[in-house]
Structure 1
Amino acid sequence: MLEIDPERTAESVMEFVRSYTENAGVKSVVIGLSGGLDSAVVTKLAALSLGKENVHALFMPELSTPLEDFEHVRLISSTFGVEYETIDISPLIHSIRKVYPHKMDEITLGNIKSRLRMLLWYGYSNLKSSLVCGCSNKTELLIGYFTKYGDGGSDFMPIGDLYKTQVYQLARYLEIPEPILNKAPSAGLWKGQTDEQELGISYEKLDKILYGLERKMPVNKIAALADVTEKEVLRIKEMRKVSQHKRNMPLIPKAGLRTIGLDWRSPVQGE
């Protein structure tokens, strides 16, 4: 059902990375390296596509970043031969909390952390004349489990059409180190946070629900497929609906012949 041919998928993604960067007139990419599975997979694919010397990885920890992430970033770097730079964003977070007039909850502060990282990715991409390569997967994108203009802010997303369980399949093919394969997925925005705990559902079940919604299956059949209640299917369906704005460019009222984001969606390739 959700099985992929990892070799063909890897080749397809790598060709996409090569052609997209070439058509954009750049030779390299900037990647936010977190120590997690998605950024490890994207880093490996980018290195295979463009050469490891053309992958500029940035690790941006702060006070709540687990020590495990530091270890896993070093492991990714040494395994793939990709160099990285570390920028501690704690002082930036402190400055924002100091000037912000309202008390921030964990989610608000977590989104600010994500957006700070995006600012630094793009500053670095200007310095290196590179594109910013995003690490979001299809599961996250469909339910809005990302920060708008944060980790969702990038020039392209190589694994954006792969569900999380498919990213795991691809990761095993790419020989991502076992410690990274086995760690609990986490956005790392506050201490102890894990994706599945926050979402209230496992990726295995979530992907089956989204797979069913993608194919416009009846709710009762999706519930049976994912071994969940119909109420849970409707909850995920609603998450997809209310997060639609996060997946689109800001809406533009149509006034001309072809409108950006509506009927003028050609990429950088020649028309």
Structure 2
Amino acid sequence: MQVEKKRVDEYIHETTDFIARKVDEAGAEGVVVGLSGGIDSATASALAVEALGADAVHGLVMPTGVSDDENMSDAERHARDFGIGYDVVEIQPVVDAFLDGHPNGVDDTEAVGNLAARVRMCYNYLVANEDSLLVLGTGNRSEMLVGYYTKYGDGGVDILPVGGLYKTEVREVARELGVSEDVVEKTPTAGLWEGQTDEEELGAPYADVDDFLRAYVDGDASVEEAGDSAGIGEETARRLVDLYQRSEHKRKTPPYPGFGR
């Protein structure tokens, strides 16, 4: 689904105002953002440059042993293209230190991948605290709704400039901002383990996922109606609903007893 240029321009204007306002309200000097070499971090950081100027945006490229070299190269190239100062922080030794300290060892690829995401969050906040910055998140609406992110990992941020955009909409905004086309069209991956791709884990292309979520979450369609409108089978539709429902806790602050208040 292609977004009208007018709507893209309006979104960019609204979002850059939002970023500048939130940084000002926090009394911060700018933002820090993890750069993965993918479209979401490229778009979020480009919006921040538009809002604040490149000098107020600091990038962190944080590879692990399973990170794709091309993605890391693309992350650095994107930073140079937009004038973003950045540091490369090899986080594998930190991940290994955590694993070495576990009394029983860890043999769970997903758990280790989530650990790496949380280590990145720690470095983002270390730099943010040191330099009076906000942590700029890179998650989009598609990922937020199905819980396709790590709680207190890439979900541990201060502001989410592309959090209101579906993945397919992020691509249109990225193009308008001048993000490199090879990054825009790159196969999406969280990069948490070797060979992982987003769409394989979700069980459907992002275009179909977005169409389903628009109908089911934003509209009032039933599971069956939303599945039909997206052109996906019932099994995939119910899997997406299950992901949406089970990830509700990620979209809320931790619960606590009210004691009548």
TM beyond 0.5: yes
- Which residue does 1:74 correspond to in 2? 76
Confirm or deny: 8 A CA contact 1:137 1:160 kept in the other structure.
yes
Q: Tell me the distance in 2 between the aligned counterparts of 1:189 and 1:27.
A: 30
1:196 aligns with 2:199: yes
TM-score (ref. length: structure 2):
0.95
In the alignment, is the contact (CA less than 8 A) between 1:36 and 1:69 conserved in 2? yes
- Identity over aligned pairs, percent: 36
Tell me the equivalent position of 2:176. Answer: 173
- Describe how 1:81-120 pairs up with structure 2 within 5 A: 81-100=83-102, 101-120=104-123
Distance 2:228 2:257 in 1: 41
8 Å Cα contact 2:32/2:127 also seen in 1: yes
Q: AA paired with 2:29?
A: K
Q: Deviations over 1:140-178 (max 9, x none)?
A: 010010000000000110111111001011111111101
Per the alignment, residue 132 of structure 1 pairs with: 135
**Aligned CA-pair RMSD:** 1.3
1:145 aligns with 2:145: no
Unmatched segments (≥5 aa) in structure 1: 258-271
* Residues 49-64 of structure 1 aligned to structure 2 (within 5 Å): 49-64=51-66
CA contact (8 A) 2:212 2:227 kept: yes
The 3-state SS of whatever aligns with 1:192 is coil
Moved over 6 A (4+): none
Relative to the length of structure 1, the TM-score reads: 0.91
- SS of residue matched to 1:153: coil
1:6 aligns with 2:37: no
Q: Report if aligned partners of 2:204, 2:236 keep a CA contact under 8 Å in 1.
A: no
For residue 22 of structure 2, what is the aligned residue in structure 1? 20
SS in 2 for 1:76: helix
User: Could you report, residue by residue, the CA deviation over 1:230-268 in whole angstroms, capped at 9, with x for unpaired residues?
Assistant: 3322221111001111111101222465xxxxxxxxxxx
Structure 1 position 30 matched with structure 2 position 26: no
Work out whether residues 27 and 50 of structure 1, in 8 Å CA contact, stay in contact via their aligned partners in 2: no
Question: Structure 1 residues 2 and 212 mapped into 2: Cα distance closer, same or farther (>3 Å)?
Answer: farther
User: Relative to structure 1, is the Cα distance of residues 73 and 193 closer, same or farther in structure 2, using a 3 angstrom cutoff?
Assistant: same
Q: Give the number of aligned pairs.
A: 257
